């Protein structure tokens, strides 16, 4: 499977999850709406600088983007396997077959916590310039 086959679907999903229109994301990224549409529909792969601009417009970090891409690739592969076997796909993602349910749930919790922490740090550094928006010599130092 091509590594980037679901790149456009990932961009579209993340855009929809953030409640943004293609026009708004394109405008904020400094690209044309038709160009973003080509990316989302898989008709064209974005250059790295364009991908970076789109991710910034979506307020999505690299880790979140690539993990979402991984999840979509994994789900697409699962659906393809089920179709080959003639089985109907389940409506929900299942736990990885090599992991017990409790282990999969633990990994899910840990990953969710890591995403939350990553987003907090990213937002502090990018949006405020200093943690908690404080200036001065003690910026970023918690008591």
Name the pLDDT band for 100 (thresholds 50, 70, 90): low
**Cα 109 from Cα 95, distance rounded (Å):** 13
Q: Which domain holds residue 47?
A: 1-91
Give the model confidence (pLDDT) of 60-94 as tens digits: 988 889 888 888 888 888 888 888 877 665 554 44
* The total number of structural domains that make up the chain: 2
Do residues 15 and 22 lie in contact, with contact meaning Cβ atoms separated by under 8 Å? yes
Q: Look at residue 119 and give its three-state secondary structure.
A: helix
Q: What is the DSSP-derived secondary structure letter of residue 99? A: S
Give the model confidence (pLDDT) of 17-73 as tens digits: 899 999 999 999 999 999 999 999 999 999 999 999 999 999 998 888 988 888 888
Name the pLDDT band for 138 (thresholds 50, 70, 90): very low
Q: For position 141, what pLDDT does the model report?
A: 38
Q: First-to-last CA distance in the chain?
A: 50
Entry pTM: 0.59
Same domain, yes or no, for 85 and 99? Answer: no
Q: For position 140, what pLDDT does the model report?
A: 41
Secondary structure element (H or E) that encloses residue 63, with its range: helix 62-85
Same domain, yes or no, for 39 and 27? Answer: yes
Q: What is the dihedral of CA 128, 134, 136, 140, to 10 degrees?
A: -80
Q: For position 27, what pLDDT does the model report?
A: 97
Q: Which residues of 54-65 are buried (b: 16+ CB within 10 A; e: fewer)?
A: bbebbbbbeebb
CATH of the domain at 77: 1.10.260.40
Do residues 8 and 41 lie in contact, with contact meaning Cβ atoms separated by under 8 Å? yes
């Amino acid at each position: 499977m091509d590594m980037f086959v679901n790149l456009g679907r990932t961009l579209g999903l993340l855009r929809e999850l953030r409640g943004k229109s293609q026009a708004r994301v394109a405008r904020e990224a400094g690209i044309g709406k038709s160009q973003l549409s080509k990316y989302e529909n898989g008709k064209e792969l974005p250059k790295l600088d364009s991908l970076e601009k789109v991710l910034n417009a979506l307020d999505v970090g690299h880790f979140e983007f690539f993990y979402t891409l991984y999840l979509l690739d994994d789900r697409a592969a699962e659906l393809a396997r089920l179709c080959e076997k003639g089985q109907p796909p389940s409506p929900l993602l299942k736990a990885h077959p090599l992991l017990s349910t409790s282990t999969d749930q633990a990994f899910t919790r840990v990953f969710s916590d890591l995403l939350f922490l990553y987003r907090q740090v990213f937002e502090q550094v990018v949006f405020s310039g200093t943690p908690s928006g404080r200036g001065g010599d003690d910026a970023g130092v918690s008591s």
